Amino acid sequence: MNLPLFVGIALLSLVVWLGLSPRMIRRFYESKLFGPREPGSCVPTTSYPGVRNYEVSIPANDGTALRGWLFLNPASPRIFLLNLGRASYIAKSLDLVTLLLDSGASVFTYEYRGFGCSTATPSLRSICEDGVAAYDYLVHYLGYGPENLVLFGESLGTGVTTYIASQRDAAAIVLHSGFSSLERISKETVPFLRLYPSWLFPARRLDNKQILKRPHPPLLLVHGKLDDIVPVDHSVELYEAAAEPKELVHLPNSDHMQHSAGDAELFKRKLSSFLSRLA
């Protein structure tokens, strides 16, 4: 092969490699990450007997209306801000809401734009901003102080949770089935992405490990040992890297989001104990 042809092929290969990187075609990768809105996810009403609960409309920073829902536990001044996972919406998350209520606090959750009944298209940036909008609604409209607010994230929502913690004050952080970083879980899920260095991923979005290395409120990590979507060693890595105070709880018979009856009780007890130790 002559030199000009070799150089031309090398340059073309480099352009294609760069052009297919997560940073360059972020929208493409985001469409795969979030997927289409799940059919039937916009449930008009959510029935939850025995607990005062009601729907609210949260204004996002660009005017998008996000659907939120408040579940009140009158026995405690504390409240969980529940940041949902990739395929979750309010009506689908009532088992988790029940567990959180039973652990001893109220629950406020919401649907990111493009999820459930919230309109518009989600992106890595927008779901983080939606989380901050939900936090601000809790503080400025519902009157909760940061000292009573516990940030709770499940799966994808763990990245939103740590982002909120980097922008706002809170009493504590709970991460359930969390990933170390979006870069790591992406490379494990899509081997092709291992060809790309860190600087070709979107500006450290959803990087739990980097955020938790810095000072933060008390942290509880909870992960099912049978998780085959986000392996439990992600939470082990987070625990080892995170600043104090921190605690890691393994659920021995649980996968990514489903808990055995015994593990659900263990989860609830650990949450209750964690809440009781907060200042």
Confidence of residue 247 (pLDDT cuts 50, 70, 90): very high
We report the CATH number of the domain holding residue 216 as: 3.40.50.1820
Q: Is residue 258 part of a domain?
A: yes
Q: Report the chain's C-alpha Rg in angstroms.
A: 20
In a domain, 217, yes or no: yes
| Helix-helix angle 261-276:94-103, to 10 degrees | 40
pTM over 0.85: yes
pLDDT band at 53 (very low <50, low <70, confident <90, very high): very high
129-161 pLDDT, tens digit per residue, is 999 999 999 999 999 999 999 999 999 999 999
What is the distance between the alpha carbons of residues 267 and 279, in angstroms, rounded to a whole number?
Answer: 21
Beta strands across the sheet bearing 219-224: 53-59, 65-71, 106-110, 79-83, 149-154, 172-176, 219-224, 246-251
Residues 200-213 have a mean pLDDT of 86
Are 171 and 149 within 8 A, CB to CB? yes
Q: Check whether 270 has a pLDDT greater than 90.
A: yes
Residue 265 lies in a domain: yes
Q: Label residue 116 left, alpha or beta by phi (over 0 means left) and psi (-120 to 50 means alpha).
A: left
Q: Is the pLDDT of residue 31 over 60?
A: yes
The range of the structural domain enclosing residue 270 comes to 48-276
Give the number of domains in the chain.
1
Mean pLDDT for the stretch of residues 44-54: 80
- In 3D space, the residue among 155, 55, 171 whose CA is nearest the CA of residue 105 turns out to be 171
Residue 20 in domain: no
3-state secondary structure 214-234: CCCCCEEEEEECCCCCCCCHH
Q: For a pLDDT cut of 70, what percent of the chain falls above it? A: 96
- Domain membership flag for residue 161: yes
Instruction: Give the model's pLDDT for residue 89.
Output: 92
Q: Is 165 helix (H, G, I), strand (E, B) or coil?
A: helix
What does the mean pLDDT of the chain come to?
91
Task: Find the helix packing angle between 26-34 and 124-140, rounded to 10°.
Answer: 60
Q: Indicate whether 29 belongs to any domain.
A: no
Per-residue pLDDT at 190: 87
Looking at the predicted structure, is the pLDDT value of residue 48 above 90?
Answer: no
Using the CB atoms, write b or e for 252-278: b if 16+ within 10 Å. eebbbbebeeebbebbbebbeebbeee
* Residue 194: partners with Cβ closer than 8 Å, 6 or more residues away: 187
pLDDT digits (tens, 9 = 90+) for 5-29: 766 677 777 777 787 888 888 887 7
- Inside any domain, residue 270: yes
pLDDT of residue 204: 66
Is the confidence at residue 274, as pLDDT, over 80? Answer: yes
The confidence band for 229, taking pLDDT boundaries of 50, 70 and 90, is very high
- Residue 46 is predicted with a pLDDT of 66
* Digit-coded pLDDT (tens) for 210-223: 999 999 999 999 99
pLDDT for residue 34 is more than 90: no
pLDDT in tens, 68-122: 999 999 999 999 999 999 888 999 999 999 999 999 999 999 999 999 999 888 9
Give the whole-angstrom CA distance, residue 73 versus residue 137: 18
What is the predicted pLDDT for the residue at 1? 56
181 in a structural domain? yes
